[in-house]
Amino acid sequence: MEDISKLELAAHLIMAPPSQVSFQDRKDAESFFMRLREGALSVDSCRQILETTQNHFLMFELARSLVARMLKEWAKFNQEDIRNIALYLLNFPVVHQDLPNFVSTEMFHSAAMIIKRNSLVAHENTFADLLSILETFFNNENQKLQSFGLQIIELVATEFSTIWRSSNISITWDFHLNAKKQFEDVLLKQLMQLSLRTLSNLLSTSPDLNSIIEQQICDKFLRVASLIFCWNFSPKYLYLHFKVIISALRSNTFRPPESWHELFKDTSIITFFMQMHSRIRFNERLCENSMVCLTQLASLIGDALGPSGPIAVVMPLVGNLGERRLATVMGGIDEPLSSRKPILHDLYVQTFVSQMIDLFSDMVLDHEMVSLSLVIYKLFTCHPILIFERFPDELLHRFVDFVAKNILKLTQPTIFLAMKNDQTYSSALGNLFQVWRPLLRSAHIFKENISVLIESHNVAIIETFIKSVLSPPFGNREKPTSGEIYDENEDEEDDRIVFMDILCDIGFFCLYSIDYFVDFVTRAIVQRLVELTSLNLQTVDSKQLEIWQEDFHWILLIIGHFIRHNSYSYIGNIPEELALKCLKGYQSGEFTKFDDFSPLFQNCIDNPPFNPANYPGRLDPVTLIATQILSWFSLEHQMLIKLDPNASLLSPTLCQTSLWQFSLLMIVLTPPSSPLEEDSSFAKESEEDNWGEDQSRISVKYLPSIPPKSALSAQIIQMSLEKMFTILTKMPGEKKLCSDVIKLLISLAEYRPLELAENENLYSLFSGIDFSNLPARRQFVKAIVLMGGMLELPILRQRIQETILEPLIQRFLAFCEARDSIVNSRLTDLFECFTGIADAGQADTARTLFKFLQPVYERCIPLIRTCSQSQPLIVSILAFLKSNTDVLFFYVESKEDIQSYHNLLIGVINAYKDTQLQRFASFENATDDEQQTQDLTTFIEILCLAITKTYLPLDLSEASAIDSAKVSLHGLEILLPMMSEDLLKIPLLCTSFFRLLIFISDIAPEAIVQVSEQMLNGFLGCVQSALDNTFGIERVRSALEIVNNFASHCLLQIQKGQPVSPLLAENILKFIPKIFELAMQFSCELEIFNEATSTLFTLIGLNQDSFKAYLNQLLSLPSNIENKSALEQAFTKLLTTSSDDEATPRNFTASKKRNFQIKFESFLIEVSGALCLT
């Protein structure tokens, strides 16, 4: 036995202040205790020292050492020894008073590990002992013991819900899964009931929880309850070879089995937790866990609510994730719903809603708001909407009121704080919005009074939001202050990003209150545009101007999300709800119907602002919106283009929003291209009952539009171009604004390519712009090239090339000849433009673009060599080549072109090797250096893409395919010597590198057998490091796939009667022990387990004798001697197969691998707790 004084000294060194101990002494002491955990002390020695020492840290370490030794030598202990040690640890903090919390916690945790380890062998005795000691603690009037009891429950439950990897001592993930299932079937509910009884007794005697120990007991109970309510129960039906459904059924809902029905049958548990929360809500620490419990109780679903309840099946319907509902099927109920008593599911939800409203309707504390929103969200999204439809009218009315009033209460403070980059309440408002969305969509299933209530609240919600973002008289937003809300100089996220989720929801809500919203924004825009025309720059106050700009910015943001981003389906390019509103209005005569909207829209552009109040007829919502936006578009154009002094009334942020909104409007006003949609009989069958009884239809061609090729469309394109290029030339420093200009141009090129290409000003304007200075230049050039590809007239294509693309080449060649370091940045920008050209490659344009870019290809290698110190330029060159290899090269079919490109890549590889790779030879501390290795990552991705050309096109000769493989192998040969562990710890680099290894092993295994022994060893050395989990779990899977590919290749060679590379076969067979260990270790991680068992099966098929030799070594270990006979039988079953399933080179299919995997699952169960790997 170790000298106790030596142990206590080591403990003292670890716990002493840094000033009193040297770094080396502390490190030696830590190593000393690490050796203890590896088994230096026997279990009896640990117990003897525990009874002797007074050093608390030593007690902590001895408890850990004791359980580690037990788990490692489990087979040596009989059941009586195990039971005594578990009880000893559970009672140790009781016998030894006043232990620090970390010591008593470790004692209980060690006991929990032993209980779990023994649960599958003798769970009845183990669980009975645990319940007995807990009953003793809870029946004792000593509140300290009651606190211990709750702490034990928490630690035991946590241990059974936790999976830790110990496959070397035969505790696999299957073991954890089975132990968890046993625990939740036998003990979990009893522990919950014990906890409830304990706290109920405490609250009956001390309702105010005044003492510290009472609050501690309450806190521990809430932690236990939240842990159990968040328990991930095993699926009701589960077979090991269908483990995939575990992942499918995982959720954050509380889904206990039917055996828990008794706990919820009278809904008293809701009352208990609601009343408890009312007592502790002012204590933030207790309130947090209490709200977690309420959240999980709100999400309660499944068999525990009784067999007569609804059978809920997850059925994702059309809609976003937040609105997926549960389809409900009622079974075994013959009488109508109105004539029977509420089923338990209905009663439970109704009780919860009623008591929640009673508790929170008068007051919601700040620290409760986010959690309460989650309670409401879980309550409404986890239960079928038909349950709410069956609510009594009064309760449903209260619920709708409760949700709406909390939204109204939360909206303004959320927006106010978000404008100052404080997202405190944003998640809470988002949760409530995700409840209001389905309520709004489902309003028609409720009674008329509830539908009317929902619609009225919806108007109030829209109004409250608009008032929160607008200034008087339309809102109550506070005036912006310097650096708070509106600061042009700050590099901050755009409001479109910060408020994206909220704006999407508000836009959706507006689709259900179209009349109110359109009337409001129309009045607001008309007044603001009148104000704009009357503002005088000589007298206007800067604060007043900022307020006007901010208001119009927000109006445009809301309209943009109303007309485009928030509907699931469209009629033409208009949201379905909005289009149907217009079509019904045309049919009924409510709205003026136009055969041609051009005169009206032309008037808005020629004579802004347009006031709809002066128009003789009533305009539909889309037309109203369009008239106001076109009026603003015209006024903005005048201020920018005609150098109006009022141009200073605009701000970059307002211009950004204006461009974004205008691009959406032009999409909406683009008429449908589908012949079906243009047909006058077009109508959705599901809408028949909503259109009227005469079955007549108004064609969608009457919807507001600006037809392509019309004079008005050409004028708008002309004005757009003038505005865009004015911004690009006169405001180039506004990067975000210029980026939005490019996005507008891309949108116009997609929806109106012919008009854009035919516009004479396009080419003259382009001639005055240096594209290489533009933001988003890659996307810009790609859009131009794609636009040219869509044009049928060759003359227009030629003009685009001569006017726009060829000047880029000429400018590039001039810079290459300059040989000046200053031009490196210009070359970098030009390469980004050329990358855009490569991105636009398609089957019909690839050869033309490939030839067009030849001058650029020819200068890539010289530039890499001469500009080796300019990493941005090197990165841009490699990005250009990556896009070419990925997109353009994909479509190239000429053998000559392919050969020349292969030669180019070989030259690039050599140039990069000579000029760049030395930077990575001694790369260390690579944690945050992804930017420094960006060029290397791109280089590796080029090699990955090059080898994929082995397969395409299909009519290439084998020689071309071999050339593709040679390119990648040549690159790999220079990479392997420098791929250190430090370098591969950079995530993106590591991912790209292992992708390359996978591609080579999968696509070109024939080529790898021809490489040198040194290169093959380097290749497989990287694979070994990945299998050792050096680079993360994903790379483990990658390495398994590589080994499987090589083993499959060797088997295929045998099947063909061709020789197998002895060096390759010998090296991959060395992976058998590691692959077997991974199959044991990751038995519940589907992807890893499937890949590991598949690889193991392939290796066994390649050489079963190697696997048997490993098994003999394994069974000869001292830790496996006692169970050797049983283990031999299990391995025999694993390897004994029918002739159909035998893994041989001539009988090797996916079905055989699947059968082997199923057998391996059975093998895991059979050897669970008996097989040790070390």
The residues pairing with 575 across neighbouring beta strands, listed in sequence order, are 570
Which of 353, 376, 391 marks a domain boundary?
A: 391
Count CA atoms within 13 Å of residue 238 on its CB side.
Answer: 16
In a domain, 499, yes or no: no
Q: What range does the domain containing 1051 cover? A: 1011-1174
Please, are residues 1007 and 1000 in contact by the beta-carbon 8 Å criterion? yes
* Alpha-carbon Rg for the chain in angstroms: 36
- Measuring CA to CA, which residue among 1025, 1013, 1072, 1080 is closest to residue 1047? 1072
Q: Is residue 161 part of a domain?
A: no
Three-class DSSP category at 975: helix
What confidence tier does 1042 reach under pLDDT thresholds 50, 70, 90? Answer: very high
Burial tier of 1024 (Cβ tally within 10 Å: 0-12, 13-18, 19+): middle
- What is this structure's pTM? 0.81
What DSSP line would sit under 357-372, residue for residue?
HHHHSS---HHHHHHH
User: 516-555, pLDDT tens digit by residue?
Assistant: 999 999 999 999 998 887 877 667 778 888 888 899 999 9
Best CA proximity match to 111, nearest among 85, 150, 137, 133: 85
Q: Which residues pair with 328 in a beta bridge?
A: 312
Token pair in block for residue 136: 């003793």
- pLDDT value at 93 more than 90: yes
Q: How far is CA 783 from the centre of its chain?
A: 29
Q: Which of 391, 408, 423 is the last residue of a domain?
A: 391
In contact, 39 and 72? CB cutoff 8 Å: yes
Strand partners, 1147: 1144
Residue 958 exposed, middle or buried by CB count within 10 Å (0-12, 13-18, 19+): exposed
Nearest-angstrom CA–CA distance, 973 and 1016: 9
**Residue 332 banded pLDDT, cuts 50, 70, 90:** very low
Residue 426 maps to a domain: no
CB 946 within 8 A of CB 996: no
CA separation (Å) from 163 to 154, 370, 1080, 1081, 1092? 16, 31, 14, 11, 19
Please state, in angstroms and rounded to a whole number, the distance separating the CA atoms of residues 1097 and 1150: 10
CB-based contact 103:60 (threshold 8 Å)? yes
Q: What is the pLDDT of residue 693?
A: 39
* CA 1129 – CA 1167 distance, rounded (Å): 10
Task: Show the DSSP H helices in 53-100 as ranges.
Answer: 56-72, 79-95
Helix H, strand E, coil C: the string for 696-707 is CCCCHHHCCCCC
Q: What share of the chain is helix, strand, coil (3-state, %, to 5)?
A: 70, 0, 25
Span between the terminal Cα atoms of the chain, in Å: 24
| Enclosing H/E stretch for 314 | strand 311-314
Q: For residue 953, is the peptide bond before it cis, meaning its omega torsion is within 30 degrees of 0?
A: yes
Query: How far from chain centre, in Å, is Cα 609?
Result: 45
| Angle ∠(1073,1078,1079) on CA atoms, nearest 5 | 100
d(CA 933, CA 919) in angstroms, rounded, equals: 9
Domain termination residue (choose one: 350, 365, 391) = 391
The pLDDT assigned to 959 comes to: 58
Question: Rounded mean pLDDT of 283-290?
Answer: 92
Q: Are 679 and 644 in contact (CB under 8 A)?
A: no
Whether 364 is in a domain gets the answer yes
What is the tally of structural domains in the chain? Answer: 2
Largest CA distance in the chain: 103
Fill in the DSSP letter of residue 976. G
Contact between 298 and 349 under an 8 Å Cβ cutoff? The reply is no
Q: How do residues 735-777 score in pLDDT, each as one tens digit?
A: 888 888 888 988 888 888 888 888 877 777 777 666 666 777 8
Q: How far apart are CA 871 and CA 933, in angstroms?
A: 10
- Cα–Cα distance between 816 and 811 in angstroms, integer? 9
- Note whether residue 1125 is domain-resident: yes
184 vs 248, 277, 319, 455, 1097, CA distance in Å?
20, 27, 35, 45, 35
What is the distance between the alpha carbons of residues 464 and 453, in angstroms, rounded to a whole number?
A: 16
Identify the DSSP state of 40.
I
Say if CB 515 and CB 679 are below 8 A apart.
no
Is the residue at 861 inside a domain?
A: no
Q: Residue 920 is which amino acid?
A: F
Q: Calculate what percentage of the chain has a pLDDT beyond 70.
A: 85
Q: How confident is the model at residue 85 (pLDDT cuts 50, 70, 90)?
A: very high
Whether the ω angle into residue 307 lies within 30 degrees of 0, i.e. cis, is: no
Name 166's bridge partners. Answer: 171
For residue 1098, is it left (φ>0), alpha (ψ between -120 and 50) or beta?
A: alpha
CA distances from 195 to 202, 263, 270, 296, 434 (A): 11, 13, 15, 17, 34
Q: Does residue 1105 sit within a domain?
A: yes
How confident is the model over 897-956, as pLDDT tens digits?
888 888 999 999 999 999 988 888 766 544 446 778 889 999 999 999 888 765 444 344
Per-chain mean pLDDT for the chain: 83
- Please indicate, yes or no, if residue 703 is contained in any of the structural domains: no
pLDDT, tens only, 209-266 = 878 898 999 999 999 999 999 988 876 544 333 333 333 333 478 889 888 988 998 8
CA distance 42 to 92: 18
CA dist 939 and 917 (Å) reads: 11
Tokens, residue 1137: 């197969």
- The confidence band for 669, taking pLDDT boundaries of 50, 70 and 90, is very high
